[in-house]
Amino acid sequence: MRAMKNIVILISGRGSNMQAIVRAAKAEGWPCRIAAVISNRADAEGLAFAAQQGIATEVVVSKDFPSREAFDARLQATIDRFAPDLVVLAGFMRILTPGFVEHYAGRMLNIHPSLLPSFPGLATHRQALAAGVKVHGVTVHFVTAELDHGPIIAQATVPVLSGDTEDTLADRVLVEEHVLYPKAVRWYVEGRLSIDNGVVHIADAAQPA
């Protein structure tokens, strides 16, 4: 039997990807425990969902700290109380300091609404439309100190349609996010991910996830 893994999920808003992960973990019987959902905003809507699921919630308000380093230190201490095997960023709108990222090296995942390395940063759908690309999508990757970089675990694509707006494109990408992120987290929980020279390998990827 696999050892149960503790997962801590960080959110800043409604946490729709967090909700997708929580539901998938329960429905599919992953060998893990969602130990906590932590937000940097007290009004984050996702906290209520987590509490309803019986998941511990914590708030570390970023604006209460004089520097990114001070905030990250408190956040790290809060996360580590839950002894996480994996930290999942699910719409966590903070740029993390290198020391924080290093502390969770190899055990922190992020999802980004573009096909990285294209369109890092904010306003990804606007960037995609301005560039005139015909295919857009979403990427799940390990977190490194460089923003929206790090070894890519999985990607999913959506077509860019004539007449698309940022909102219509974002809606289609979000559907794929809710499928892809739980799949990638499950792969991690099941010990199927490895990194070799910056490239992620997925063991038994041909089998149903």
- Name the residues annotated as catalytic: 112
Measured CA to CA, the distance from residue 202 to residue 153 in angstroms comes to 8
Contact yes or no for 39/198 (Cβ under 8 A)? no
Measured CA to CA, the distance from residue 34 to residue 201 in angstroms comes to 24
Query: In terms of C-beta density within 10 A (0-12 exposed, 13-18 middle, 19 or more buried), how is residue 104 classed?
Result: buried
Measured CA to CA, the distance from residue 40 to residue 144 in angstroms comes to 20
Find all residues with CB under 8 Å of 195, minimum gap 6, and list them: 106, 142, 151, 201
